[in-house]
Amino acid sequence: MRLRLPSFALALILLGLGQATAYATPVAGHLGSPAGKLPALTVYAWSLDGAKLHSVTTDSGQATFSLDLPPGRYYVFAAPLDPGAPPIYGAYTEYAACVHETPAARCLEHGLKALTVTRRPAAPIDLADWYLEDEVTLKLDRILGRPAGGSLPEAELAAPKFSEYPAAAFAGARATALVLGDEPRVERDREPLGVALESRANFAGRTVLVRIGCGDGCETVAFVDVPTGRVAYPAALAAVPTTIPCVTGAPLKFRRDSRLLTVTNDTGGTRLTRYFLWDADSGVLKLIASLGSALEEPCSAPR
């Protein structure tokens, strides 16, 4: 015998499932560095329940992070954000959890510790353990799809780095209105561009990078110049993918304190990363380098 539910009851169940799926809990924590000043980092959370990767980026010198995660169990770790940076990791480990309650001399285990996320906000965690065993490092390499042992090709090591193209934070007077000019898309996108003009710069010191949907798995990028209100739609960023098969991380990468921006595409089985420099004064986005590499198979990371 099959159980039949009234249509309104089925709708309520589906609504409840949608709400549960959309629910996320803020997970916050403190960041540490293996030596000297904290570099800009990507903080990752790898879901042990759904084999899904979540991430957020931080600025150079930023000592805290916050990441919204659905309930579940996660490995949480961080890696330097610069392209070609050494493949090292800081992670939430047994050691990081132990030193909160026990003298550090008694905390000897550096294995990954699963963080359980519920609907109730948890206490902040520390991503300050950079002394990981080779087995742990290899596991994180596999999650990110990096070559075994984390070795990087020579070309990737020589690729442009965000830190090589610094941009000072803008501290002057802000524009109070958008400059419409003769670009018809400004009128079409007036609402998100207006919000951007009132927001803090998130790219190249004085620019707000705005993502505008252009279809399934696609986004157009616009730049709003904070001091002048000028809007630019770089042709190279007219159709940026939101995800790339077999590639972990965002296809579009940029930083508040750098003029460098990178875009990664899948071009028929090859991962192509293009490196651009933004000149806010001239309004020119210049291609300075490209790096291509074959995508590895299989492309699913281990749980």
Q: Per-residue pLDDT tens for 53-110?
A: 888 888 888 999 999 999 999 999 998 887 666 678 999 999 888 887 777 777 888 8
If DSSP codes are grouped into helix, strand and coil, which group holds residue 7?
A: helix
- Residue 76, CA atoms < 13 Å, CB-side half-sphere: 28
pLDDT of residue 16: 43
pLDDT of residue 250: 77
The pTM assigned to this predicted structure is 0.58
14, burial (CB in 10 Å: exposed 0-12, middle 13-18, buried 19+)? exposed
Higher model confidence: residue 191 or residue 217?
191
DSSP assignment of 169-212: PP-SPPPSS-B-TT-HHHHHTHHHHHHHHTSPP-BTTTEEEEEE
Instruction: Classify strands 240-241 and 25-31 as parallel, antiparallel or unpaired.
Output: unpaired
pLDDT of residue 130: 87
Kindly report, residue by residue over 37-49, the tens digit of the pLDDT: 888 888 999 999 8
Beta strands in 8-96 (DSSP E): 25-31, 41-47, 53-57, 64-69, 72-80, 90-91
pLDDT of residue 276: 95
Place of tokens 């293009």: 274
Structure tokens at 181: 């000019």
Where residue 5 falls among pLDDT bands split at 50, 70, 90? Answer: very low
d(CA 17, CA 70): 13
